[in-house]
Structure 1
Amino acid sequence: MFTIGDFARLGRVSVRMLRHYDSIGLLRPASVDPHTGYRFYRADQLRRLNRVIALKDLGLTLDQVRAILDDAVDVAELRGMLRLRRSQLAEQLAADTARLTAVEARLRMIESEGRMTTQDVVLKEIAPVRLAELTAVAPSYQAEDIGPVIQPLYPELFGRLSAAGVTPTGPAIAWYEPADPEGDAVVVHAGVIVDAEPSATFDVTMRELPGLRSAATIIHHGAMDDVESSMQTLARWIDENGYRTDGFARELYLEYCPDTPEKGITELQLAVYRD
């Protein structure tokens, strides 16, 4: 048999962990010296230790691990526990992937600072247009929150227009407005320019998008995940020229490339005014 220290090293765990497993009845020593209190373990107990560690690494609680190892959980219940954990890990992976994408986009923005100048900004009037659109609510105006909300809207919009026999006559336009004046959520409007009259048979919203008397505009090349650098250039121009804005940019998709977003070309339009 092995002392607790030797068994811990063989099992690649800490002595403190083995003492805890003993205290909760998860992995008892094979024997305990009645005089010294020293714990001793057998080699075959490594099998149970390995299973404890494996199940714990899946995210199961120690109580759940004990129930599984002591056959207190039937196969169906175990399958359900593992499926639930698989779902939780998948959600965590998706969230971590989204965070990584956001960090990479922010890093690219920092690295590109100074490449675009305010000379790339054009002040112009934007004409009103008729849009067919679908809407949804995003938790915030941040690119990582907008993307997952707006991306499925356009395939759905184009599919509904095709079914209604309506052909777009201009590029797609996205625009935004607060969902709640007191919160961060925004209403995402995914639209495309059309020349059709509103009809009850259309399963989309038809609206006249008002023009902008004065808009600061810039052409953004690439994926919208990297739009912050272009927005910061617009912000510098607005500040340097004494304008104000609400910060919600219209996005005119001059080259809409859903399958290759890095090839996209988008005109950002920010309404500006002076007090």
Structure 2
Amino acid sequence: MFTIGDFAHLGRVSVRMLRHYDAVGLLLPAHVDPSSGYRFYTAAQLQRLNRLVALKDLGLTLDQVRVVLDEKLSVEQLHGMLSLRRAELRQQILADESRLRRVEARLRAIEREGAMPADDVVVKPVPSARVARLTALAASYGPEDIGPVIQPLYPQLMKRLERAGVPITGYGIATYAPAEGDQVLVEAGVTVSVEPSDAYDFEVVDLPALDQAATIVHRGPMDDVDATYQSVAAWIEAHGYRQNGFAREVYLNYGDGDPADWVTELQLEITRA
């Protein structure tokens, strides 16, 4: 048998928690010395302790843990529950990391408030472009809604283009259109030179030329694009223009190598206010 201290060490829990599990009837000592009150445990009890801690980490209350333990789950059942919880925790970590990146991007935008690009903004016409594209709906234009929608579209589009034998002749171009309510139609495209065909499992469309666009180069991942968008918006207003519709995003160098080296041109159609 093991003293409560040795058992706590073996089970990687605190003595305080073992006393609490004893008090609530979840893990009783194998023996209690009647004269000293010292608790003793057996190695076989580590099995119940492992299940107890695992179930608690799943988010179950101690009362729920008691019910599950009394049902004597098999190793396979417990493994399945823990695997599911592991997947949920990994997904939560990814969501939290994405939220952290958005907070950091907003902080950078706040730090740059009032700072206006000068030579960074170029006003120019944008020629029409023929693109193959896939589309999907996002709940809003917020990065937390746009990112998860547009990111899978490009790998899907590349696979379909390869399967159809359609070569890419230029850059990726993402466009956006308003949909019902706050929804946004996300359009992930790449430049091609083929004619539209019903045989393709993607659209081939011509993006119209823009007579006049305020363009600016954004460097780095699109997680950081908020500050760039807001600085060019300040430039547009300060120079007596107004924006027409959503911006186009032209991926000049994106997805390969160091994200700090990625380059995207933002194109915002403008007219005189």
TM-score for both structures, normalised by structure 2: 0.76
The aligned amino acid for 2:247 is A
Q: In the alignment, is the contact (CA less than 8 A) between 2:26 and 2:66 conserved in 1?
A: yes
What does the per-residue CA deviation read over 1:36-89, in whole Å, with 9 as the maximum and x for residues that have no partner? xxxx77343996677644531332332442134435333343233222222222
Query: What are structure 1's unaligned runs of at least 5 residues?
Result: 3-8, 32-39
Give the alignment of 1:209-224 within 5 angstroms. Answer: 209-224=207-222
Could you tell me which residue of structure 2 aligns to residue 121 of structure 1? 121
**Cα gap change, 1:69 to 1:83, in 2 (>3 Å):** same
Q: Is the 8 A contact 2:134 2:153 kept in 1?
A: yes
Partner of 1:163: 163
- Which residue is 2:105 aligned to? 105
- 1:66 alignment partner AA: R
In the other structure, the counterpart of 2:10 is none
Question: 2: CA distance between counterparts of 1:105 and 1:77?
Answer: 43
- Residues 221 and 259 in structure 2, CA contact (< 8 A), matched pair in contact too: yes
Which position in structure 1 is the counterpart of 2:227? 229
Moved more, 59-68 or 85-94: 59-68
1 CA distance for matches of 2:14 and 2:88? 31
- 2:87 corresponds in structure 1 to 87
1:247/1:226 CA distance change after superposition, 3 Å: farther
Contact kept? 2:244, 2:271, Cα under 8 Å: no
SS at match of 1:26: coil
| Structure 1 residue 152 displacement after superposition | 2.7
Read off the aligned partner of 1:87 and give its amino acid letter. Answer: A
What's 1:11 paired with? 15
1:148 aligned partner, one-letter code: P
The alignment's C-alpha RMSD in Å is: 3.4
- SS of match in other structure, 2:78: helix
- Contact residue 132 and residue 206 of structure 1 kept, 8 A: yes
Distance 1:168 1:74, change over 3 A: closer
Partner SS for 1:91: helix
Letter in 1 for 2:261: K
CA contact (8 A) 1:144 1:225 kept: no
The CA distance in 1 between the partners of 2:270 and 2:134, in whole Å, is: 26
Aligned 1:236-251 pairs, distance under 5 A: 236-245=234-243, 248-251=246-249
Contact 1:118 1:234 in 2 (8 A): no
CA contact (8 A) 2:215 2:267 kept: yes
What percent identity do the matched residue pairs reach?
52
Does residue 264 in structure 1 map to residue 268 in structure 2?
A: no
The question of whether the paired residues in 2 share the 8 Å contact of 1:137 and 1:188 is answered with yes
Partner in structure 1 of residue 202 of structure 2: 204
Q: 1:89 to 1:257 in 2, by over 3 A?
A: closer
Task: From the superposition, tell whether residues 235 and 246 of structure 1 become closer, same or farther in structure 2 (CA, over 3 Å).
Answer: same
Aligned partners of 1:117, 1:269: CA distance in 2, in Å?
15
Q: Measure, in 2, the Cα distance between the counterparts of 1:247 and 1:208.
A: 17
Aligned 8 A contact 1:224 1:261 in 2:
no
Give the letter for the 2:175 counterpart.
Answer: W
Aligned to 2:70: 70
| Residues 146-161 of structure 1: pairs in structure 2 closer than 5 A | 146-161=146-161
Tell me how far 1:218 sits from its aligned partner.
0.6
| Alpha-carbon distance in 2 for matches of 1:215, 1:151 | 25
* Structure-2 residue corresponding to 1:5: none
Number of residue pairs aligned between Structure 1 and Structure 2: 255
1:199 and 1:61, CA in 2 relative to 1: closer, same or farther beyond 3 A? Answer: same
Q: Does structure 1 conserve the Cα–Cα contact (< 8 Å) formed by 2:116 and 2:235?
A: no
The structural deviation recorded for 1:231 is: 0.6
- Alpha-carbon spacing, 1:196–1:175, altered in 2? closer, same or farther (3 Å): same
Q: 1:227, CA displacement in angstroms? A: 0.9
Query: Deviation of residue 27 (structure 1)?
Result: 5.2
Letter in 2 for 1:255: N
Query: Which residue is 2:7 aligned to?
Result: none
Letter of the 1:11 partner, please give it.
V
Q: Is the 8 A contact 1:133 1:206 kept in 2?
A: yes
| Distance in 2 (alpha carbons) for counterparts of 1:164 and 1:43 | 70
